[in-house]
Structure 1
Amino acid sequence: MRALVAGVGNRYMGDDGFGPRVVERLSELNLPENVEVRDVGLCGFTLAVELDQYDLLVLVDALKMGASAGKIYCEKIEGVIEADLSSITIHDAGVRELLAFAKKIGTLPADVYLVGCEISQITLQEGLSPPVEAAVDDAVRVILRLLYRQSEG
């Protein structure tokens, strides 16, 4: 089983840098050889053509769902993934567009998860707000459990 953990976001826009920060922390660990961690920044859309190399994709991103800052979400992406791709550019594309495009071209892995963190603020600054920074290790633990469970299954 080959797995990719992809951090989505802009590390120079405050809490939007959550995905890259989690990937940075994961890269400090001794992960199995079959696990790749990558900061895909804002160009995750271009990743779609490579996804057929992986059995598991874990996308890590900042989310605004209305909960308290620092809350971690983990959701398996199943079913229909829809997005209007007719006028999308790589600069406009988010996670939904990436997944819809990968599905359309036949590269979407069998298992896809989104691990996200409720953000506090997106402002022009390097570094995360305190509650989001505190959630980085929680997200790492969630991802490690996903990787471990998938390698057993």
Structure 2
Amino acid sequence: MSAPRILIAGVGNIFRGDDAFGGEVVRRLAGRGLPAGVRVCDFGTRGHDLAYAILDGYDGVILVDAAARGGPPGTLYTIELAPRPLAEPAPLGTHGVDLPAVFAMVRALGGTRARLYLVGCEPADLGPDDEGRMGLSEPVAAALGPAVAFVEAVAAGLVTGATVGAERA
């Protein structure tokens, strides 16, 4: 039996301050020894590319992004995203990647959605809408190391078939 195929996908906008969190986490993961069958990629704001990657038949997808859920800046969340009907609104925004549209595109193209997780970080500063902001805030930058460990734990759980400790949304 071959190893499960897992996609770790960084999403977010590097010109929007803490929204660069996902890209920075996957950059750090790219240099680490991950289990066979695990692919790491920064999709930025390229939702179509993410949809086509999901169509490649992954057993699990781990999205890494800033996720405003009302906690203190730098708080990490691991959330298993349950399938939702097309008409239902998304529970989380990703500042440039419309995840419901990505999943709808996958379904429209005949794909099925793998187990899907979000490892998110509560942002502190995205910058003004008309100007943006470069660089991560201090609390989000401090969360990078723990976030890498969170993502590795979720990936290991998917590879081994273990239960992944995550809230459901």
- The TM tier, using the shorter chain, reads 0.7 to 0.9
* SS of equivalent to 2:121: strand
Matches within 5 A, 1:49-128: 49-53=52-56, 54-82=58-86, 93-123=97-127, 124-128=132-136
For 1:41 and 1:59, the matched residues in 2 are separated by: 11
Q: CA deviation at 1:126?
A: 2.3
Q: CA deviation at 1:65?
A: 1.6
Structure 2: any 5+ residue segments left out of the alignment? 89-94, 162-169
**Contact between 2:15 and 2:134, CA under 8 Å: does it hold in 1?**
yes
Structure 1: any 5+ residue segments left out of the alignment? 85-90
For 1:120 and 1:142, the matched residues in 2 are separated by: 20
Structure 1 residue 25 corresponds to structure 2 residue 21: no
* SS of equivalent to 1:4: strand
After the TM superposition, which of the residue ranges 37-46 and 114-123 deviates more from structure 2? 37-46
Q: CA deviation at 1:125?
A: 2.9
- Which residue, out of 137, 144, 159, partners 1:136? 144
Give the aligned partner of residue 88 of structure 1. none
Give the aligned partner of residue 153 of structure 2. 145
Q: CA deviation at 1:67?
A: 1.2
- RMSD after superposition: 2.0
1:35-81 Cα deviation digits (max 9, x unpaired)? 11111011123321231321111111111221110111111112324
TM-score, normalization by structure 1? 0.85
Number of equivalences: 147
For 1:140 and 1:108, the matched residues in 2 are separated by: 27
Structure 1 residue 8 corresponds to structure 2 residue 11: yes
